[in-house]
Every structure is written in C-alpha cells, then in structure tokens.
Amino acid sequence: MGAGGRMIEPAVDDQQNLLERVPCSKPPFSLADLKKAIPSHCFERSVIRSSYYVVHDLIVAYVFYYLANTYIPLLPSPFAYLAWPLYWFCQGSILTGVWVIGHECGHHAFSEHQWVDDTVGFVLHSALFTPYFSWKYSHRNHHANTNSLDNDEVYIPKVKSKVKLYSKILNNPPGRVITLAFRLIFGFPLYLFTNVSGKKYERFANHFDPMSPIFTDRERVQVLLSDLGLIAVGYMVRKAVLAKGAAWVMCIYGVPVLVVNAFFVLITYLHHTHLSLPHYDSTEWDWIKGALSTIDRDFGFLNRVFHDVTHTHVLHHLISYIPHYHAKEARDAIKPVLGAHYKIDRTPIIKAMWREAKECVYIETDEGSKHQGVYWYHKM
C-alpha cells in the first residue's frame, strides 16, 4: 500500500527490465506523500556537518597537491608520465566532490542560512571556474522544468527531423569516441558560454552576460558578481603562471579543473539520458512527471567521493534541499512510495556512457500512442 492507502507498483531497484520505460502517467502519489515518508531529521541542514565535508575535501586536495608537486618531478620520465594522469584523476575526483558541495549551496542544502550557503558556494565554485550565481539560477530553472521540451534549461534532445548532418556522420564507433571526448572536454564550457544543448531564447544567451535572457532583472547584479569572482580567480592563476610557469599551473590546477568539468558532464548526461526516460511537450508535462523522469547511477567507489550525488539524483529532483549526508536514507525511504517510478542503472559507467551515446540519439513519440506529447529516445 502507498501513501493515502493507494496501491503502489513494486520498486524497480534491481537490474531486471533495466531498459523498461518508466510510467509516463501521473503518479498515484504527491510530493507531500513523499515528504511524509522521509524521516524528519533528513531535512535538517547542519552548517557544522556540511563544513566538515568542505574541510575534509580541501585537506585531501592539498595532500594530492603536495605529493604531486613534491615527488612527481623527482620521478624518472616514464614514471612521471604515469604519475601525472593518476594525480589528475585523483585530484579531479576530489575537486568534483568540492564542486558538488557548491552545488548543494545553490540549493540551500548547506545550512539554514542562505547567506552562508551563497558565500561558501560562491567561493568553491569560483575557485573551480564556475560562475556560482549564474549557474545557480539556470540550474534552478532546470529543476523547475525538468524534461520539458519547451522550457527545460539544458539537455534538450532533438527530434529525428532536427538531427544534424554531423551527428549522422559520427553515428559509428570512431565517431562516438570523438563525440564523447568532445562532450566531456568542452561540453560544460560551451554550455556556459553559448548555452549549447540549452533552452532556445529569442537572442544569444550565456552565463556571463548579466543581461542574458536566462536571468531575471533581480538576478543580474549577482550574475555580475559571479563574473567578478572568476576574474579574481583568473588574476590569481595569472600570478601563478608568472611565478611557476604555465606548464606547472596546467598540470597542478588546469587539468584537474578539466576533469571536474568532464565528471560533471558525465554525471548529468547519464542522469538524464536513458532509453527508459520520457520527455514531454507542453500537452503532457507537469512538474512531478518531469522530476521523476531521471535515473540514478552507480559510480562505484566514486559515489562516496562525489557525496552520493550520483545515486540519489531522483530524490534530488524531487526534494533538492536535503543535504547529501541524508540523501541515501531519504532515497531509501521514498523508494517504496515511488514504486515503478524509481529506477537505478548499475551498468558500469564506461559501458553505460557508450550505450547511451549509441542508443539515445534522438526522440520521437510512439506512433499510434494516445500520449502524443510523450517522447522517447531512439537510435539512428
């Protein structure tokens, strides 16, 4: 039995029928039902506990920096060439955790005080070359319009008739390698600078122009503040280049930031791209159906490094202000209520990334379906 005595479909939390479509009908529960199922302490945000994770991650990041800066230059060339990629992966991973905490600040999940959240988030995201307030506001729009083909802010797939020629040319194994590499390396910067894969506006939109149509009038001053934060970080990077050289800065700082960008794109791509997930036009979309049209993923040991954002994403789209240290408990509490509306894919990440790139090329409605406003992924 579900909330209010309604029958709830069994949760799809194993790997049977992995690609079976999630229900696209209105769910038999409300957001209030889900909140009632979650223990009350899961909604508590502790600035002390949240700060512990910031300090923990920064200490680990400093240890990685110290080891790389002190010992890699002493290694013989063949070993140094192996050590640097290992450092980039480790440092990029822990800094992705730092980025995730900044993301929590944007959702007011760090503390009970908005000014504390915004201060911490601004510092953390600026240090990783993310415009905190600008991204906070566009990301809020994404949460408000998830999987709406008309109003979602990002990851809006194309219908078959609008698939570009280059996508058709690259629809083969070598082309997919090129496409995935390009997406992981350049996807986030291109989204910030050009709004690629985002909502179409009447004029050019990006995350650095305070007058961009992405933002409302009351948000424009904070967008400018985000720009100033990045300029300040850029100035410090320039000072480091003058003092230590461009190669040192790139190896110690630049490449790990690129790894953060790649992980962010990979995580969000896999959360929103799956054969089982629908997209909706304005005739079918409503908020809870859109929020449920996401999927959890299993990144193995990186789940913990990324503060569990990878396998609590469905919960996050439903109740985004629950802090990460309560997210797993809250997710498990609502799974019986969600029933078939919850799905997790534990496919190894590299395999999953390749499968989605191959199978999820465009979206179309099902011919003859009564739900002509519901779109599903297809391959070429």
Q: Is residue 8 part of a domain?
A: no
Q: Is residue 303 part of a domain?
A: yes
Beta-bridge partners for 375: 279
Per-residue pLDDT tens digits for 122-175: 999 999 999 999 999 999 999 999 999 999 999 999 999 999 998 999 999 999
R_g (Cα) of the chain, nearest Å: 21
Could you say which DSSP state residue 378 is in? Answer: E
Q: Is residue 58 classed exposed, middle or buried when 0-12, 13-18 and 19+ CB atoms within 10 A define those classes? A: middle
User: In the predicted model, what is the mean pLDDT of residues 12-24?
Assistant: 76
Q: Is residue 2 part of a domain?
A: no
Q: Cα–Cα distance between 255 and 368 in angstroms, integer?
A: 49
What is the per-residue pLDDT for 16? 67
Q: Is residue 53 part of a domain?
A: yes
Task: Please tell me the total count of domains within the chain.
Answer: 1
- pLDDT exceeds cutoff 90 at 15: no
Q: Cα–Cα distance between 185 and 189 in angstroms, integer?
A: 8
**φ and ψ of 345, to 5 deg:** -115, 115
What is the per-residue pLDDT for 3? 39
> Token digits for 335?
């799974």
What is the per-residue pLDDT for 14? 56
Higher-pLDDT residue of 164, 303: 303
Q: Cα–Cα distance between 247 and 69 in angstroms, integer?
A: 12
What is the per-residue pLDDT for 257? 98
Percent of the chain at pLDDT > 70 equals 96
Q: Taking all residues of the chain, what is their mean pLDDT, rounded to a whole number? A: 94
Question: CB within 8 A of 306, min separation 6: which ones?
Answer: 93, 96, 97, 100, 263, 267, 299
* Residues of the domain holding 98: 35-377
Helices (H), 18-150: 31-37, 47-71, 77-106, 114-127, 132-144
The pTM of the full predicted model, rounded to 2 decimals, is 0.93
CB 297 within 8 A of CB 267: yes
Q: Cα–Cα distance between 144 and 159 in angstroms, integer?
A: 22
Q: Is residue 73 part of a domain?
A: yes
User: In the predicted model, what is the mean pLDDT of residues 236-252?
Assistant: 98
Q: Cα–Cα distance between 84 and 378 in angstroms, integer?
A: 39
Q: Is residue 99 part of a domain?
A: yes
User: In the predicted model, what is the mean pLDDT of residues 72-79?
Assistant: 93
CB 20 within 8 A of CB 275: no
